[in-house]
Amino acid sequence: MGRASIAERISALDTPDERDDVEAIWHSVRPLLILARIVLVLLIILVGEMFDDTYIKGFTVGIWALIVGIPLFVLMSLGLLFGDRFNIDEEEENTL
């Protein structure tokens, strides 16, 4: 199956969007969560390198960045997974 032609793409813009509010919100929030995960990883690396010699309660700031950053990354990933599953389940219910 080939790509849609330009005329088909333009005519598809005229059709109304069939998504409900929850799907529209999820499609808006999902890219922000993905971008936040990328920024989080970069910040963990940046903080770990910049504050390698500063200690807080016996650990370097880089270690604290890992202690806080890794669970945040996992929580964001789980949020994305559960959000995608919830969205897929709603789409299946709507097609039945």
pLDDT tens-digit series, residues 43-60: 999 998 898 888 989 999
* 13-44 as b/e: b if 16+ CB within 10 A: eeeeeeeeeebeebeeeeeeeeeebeebeeeb
- pLDDT score for 76: 94
For the residues 21-44, what does the mean pLDDT come to?
90
Any idea what the Cα angle at residue 63 is, between residues 62 and 65, rounded to 5°?
65
C-alpha–C-alpha distance, residues 24 and 85, integer Å: 15
Backbone angles phi, psi at 18, to 5 degrees: -90, 5
The answer to whether residue 1 scores a pLDDT higher than 60 is no
Q: How confident is the model at residue 80 (pLDDT cuts 50, 70, 90)?
A: very high
For the residues 12-21, what does the mean pLDDT come to?
74
